[in-house]
């Protein structure tokens, strides 16, 4: 089984917004700095078409996203199949061939990889990048259970790219569940996922958060929350925030297990809008709180607007 140390593309980012808005400018500065560093890293490693969903780097180890994936003798959909890899198995990238293939409107390169066959012997072959996970993490509540995700399709509209992300659950290299959700931003948008535990939500074993960020003022900054009940993933909600100096909009959940969370099991959605004036004073223009209750299948609004 693969190691869970391979977490993300590029440079891991841990931007955690709070409602202490006096630190907002510092957070923006750090986000901008990390963005510049990340962009430098991308170009240094030869990112193709600036897509963070289909760029895998030489000598890095990733995991197979497809349920059963063909390894081919040469790069190309018509080439001979020499082996089949199961979901979650490790591949180490040896080369980006720059040869592309498009499926479902989603384009990715073919990669030369090294893998272990069923006799634990290392072999080499070619795998299409659309079948490799961007990130894979082990469950924080169940040993041997893994969550992984990647792009499943993309579409260019008049104004922007529309990307669909597939999130899969596997155990012992067997797919046990999957869910497709709309991604925020486009193919160049940074993303990562993390497990939050069950957050003391009744009937939920794990909360998975996928963060999307364009890492510049005015860009996408959003979190998609997925609830795992042990059998299926449910897309609970996606919260979008906005930062375009001097204006800001924060939008966050407080779960029952969080500090200042609701002890009766309600999920609190806190929102705030405002701006910083010429004297760097925070001017709050709107505050809202919505209370939700998880009913086993969806978030039901209890109070607020």
Distance CA 212, CA 186 (A): 9
| Structure tokens that stand for 95 in this block | 């080369």
Q: Is the pLDDT of residue 17 over 60?
A: no
Q: How far is CA 188 from the centre of its chain?
A: 13
pLDDT of residue 221: 94
Q: What angle do CA 193, 134, 170 make, to 5 degrees?
A: 75
Structure confidence at residue 49 as a pLDDT band (50, 70, 90): low
Contacts with 59 (C-beta within 8 Å, 6 or more apart), sequence order:
92, 93, 94
Rounded mean pLDDT, 209-217: 90
- As a whole number of angstroms, the distance between CA 229 and CA 166 comes to 17
- Could you tell me if 126 and 75 are in contact, meaning their C-beta atoms sit under 8 angstroms apart? yes
CA 105 to chain centre: 20
What pLDDT score was predicted for residue 218?
84
CA distance linking residue 264 with residue 242, whole number of Å? 30
Q: Please give the average per-residue pLDDT across 59-82, as a whole number.
A: 97
**Which SS3 state, helix, strand or coil, does residue 199 take?**
coil
> Average pLDDT, stretch 194-200?
96
pLDDT at 248 over 90: yes
Tell me the pTM.
0.82
Distance separating alpha carbons of residues 291 and 45, to the nearest angstrom = 45
- pLDDT score, position 279: 87
Q: DSSP string covering 221-241, please?
A: EEEEEEEE-SS-EEEEEEEE-
Looking at residue 159, its pLDDT comes to 77
Neighbours of 180 (CB within 10 A): 15
Q: What is the tens place of the pLDDT at every residue in 135-180?
A: 999 999 899 999 999 999 998 887 778 999 999 999 999 999 999 9
pLDDT of 173: 96
| Residue of 297, 296, 299, 286 lying closest to 253 (CA atoms) | 299
pLDDT by residue (tens digit) across 108-122? 999 999 999 999 999
Chain mean position to CA 66: 17
Residues 267-302 pLDDT 10s: 999 999 999 998 889 999 999 999 999 999 999 999
Q: Is the pLDDT of residue 37 over 80?
A: no
pLDDT at 211 over 50: yes
pLDDT grade for 216, boundaries at 50, 70 and 90: confident
User: Which of 142, 192, 193, 147 lies closest to 170, judged by CA?
Assistant: 147
pLDDT for residue 280: 87
Q: Residue 50's pLDDT is what?
A: 53
pLDDT above 70 (res 71):
yes
Residue 82 has pLDDT above 60, yes or no: yes
At 236, is the pLDDT very low, low, confident or very high (cuts 50, 70, 90)? very high
pLDDT, the chain, mean? 85
């Amino acid at each position: 089984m693969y190691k869970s140390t391979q977490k993300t593309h590029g440079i891991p980012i841990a931007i955690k917004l709070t409602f202490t808005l006096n630190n907002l400018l510092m957070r923006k500065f750090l986000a901008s700095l990390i963005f510049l560093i990340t962009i430098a890293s991308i170009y240094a490693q030869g990112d193709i078409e600036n897509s963070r969903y289909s760029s895998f780097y030489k000598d890095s180890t990733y995991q197979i996203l497809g349920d059963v994936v063909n390894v081919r003798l040469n790069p190309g959909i018509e080439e001979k199949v020499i082996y089949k890899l199961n979901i979650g198995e490790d591949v180490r990238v040896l080369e980006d061939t720059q040869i592309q293939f498009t499926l479902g409107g989603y384009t990715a390169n073919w990669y030369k990889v090294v893998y272990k066959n069923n006799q634990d012997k290392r072999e080499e072959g070619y795998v299409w990048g659309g079948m490799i996970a961007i990130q894979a993490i082990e469950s924080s509540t169940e040993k041997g259970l893994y969550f992984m995700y990647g792009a499943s399709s993309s579409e260019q509209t008049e104004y922007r790219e529309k990307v669909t992300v597939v999130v899969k659950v596997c155990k012992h290299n067997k797919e046990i569940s999957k869910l497709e959700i709309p991604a925020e931003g486009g193919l160049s948008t940074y993303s990562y996922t993390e497990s939050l535990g069950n957050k003391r939500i009744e009937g939920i074993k794990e909360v998975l958060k996928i963060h999307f960020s364009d890492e510049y003022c005015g860009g996408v900054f959003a979190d998609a929350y997925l609830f795992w009940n042990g059998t299926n993933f449910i897309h609970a909600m996606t919260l979008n925030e906005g930062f375009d100096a001097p204006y800001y909009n924060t939008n966050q959940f407080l779960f029952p297990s969080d500090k200042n969370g609701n002890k009766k099991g309600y999920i609190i959605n806190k929102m705030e809008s405002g701006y910083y004036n010429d004297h760097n004073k925070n001017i709050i223009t709107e505050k809202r709180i919505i209370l939700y209750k998880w009913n086993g299948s969806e978030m039901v609004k209890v109070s607020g607007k």
